Amino acid sequence: MISKLANLSANSHPDSVRLHIPRALRLVYDIRNKRDVAHLADGIDPNLQDAMLVCSVLDWVLAEFIRLYHSVSADAAQRIVSQIVTRAVPVIEDFNGFLKLLRPNLAVSDHCLVLLYHRGVQGATLDELKTWVRPVMRANLGRTLGSLVHQKDLAHSDGTNYYITALGQKHVESQRLIEPMSSP
């Protein structure tokens, strides 16, 4: 099928449809069918890595279809996808709107960042964050959020909501904060 799409006329079909999307979907298919093969000896749990890759690729494919067939810019298409896509954060359980973070030993700043990571473009109000953090974290929550916004640039506030920045997302992912704790 990939070769059939690649052979379509370049004049009447965009490169994304002919080349990029089919190749991206092939990658997703290969990851799905060859799980664990590339990770056997490196000690890395492939499930989270593979899931993040697959979700990112599929988000891009969806954004590309929106861009192509709704005549919007790539940035506008990505914003649309960001509004409809929910990040899977295995370390958070949602109990009817109450977000429970299942890593009891996280520092308050990392705790907040994981919550904001989960919320994505929706962000969270200070009151929501106060509800979701552990009681001992509430007293200095404003100062912690201020530091994340003004000193570390890991979060942003528009005066009403707090949002995670791209730098904050990288921090959460590089520190593997969205992974559940391994059982003893």
Average pLDDT over residues 36-58: 66
Q: Is the pLDDT of residue 37 over 50?
A: no
Q: What is the mean pLDDT of the chain?
A: 85
pLDDT at position 42 is 53
Domain 92-174 class in CATH: mainly alpha
- pLDDT tens-place string over residues 74-99: 888 777 777 666 666 889 998 999 99
Specify the higher pLDDT residue, 42 or 104.
104
Start-to-end Cα distance in the chain: 46
pLDDT at position 102 is 92
What span, in angstroms and rounded, lies between the C-alpha atoms of 87 and 169?
11
Domain boundaries, the chain: 2-84, 92-174
Q: Which of 19-23, 41-45, 93-97, 158-162 has the lowest mean pLDDT?
A: 41-45
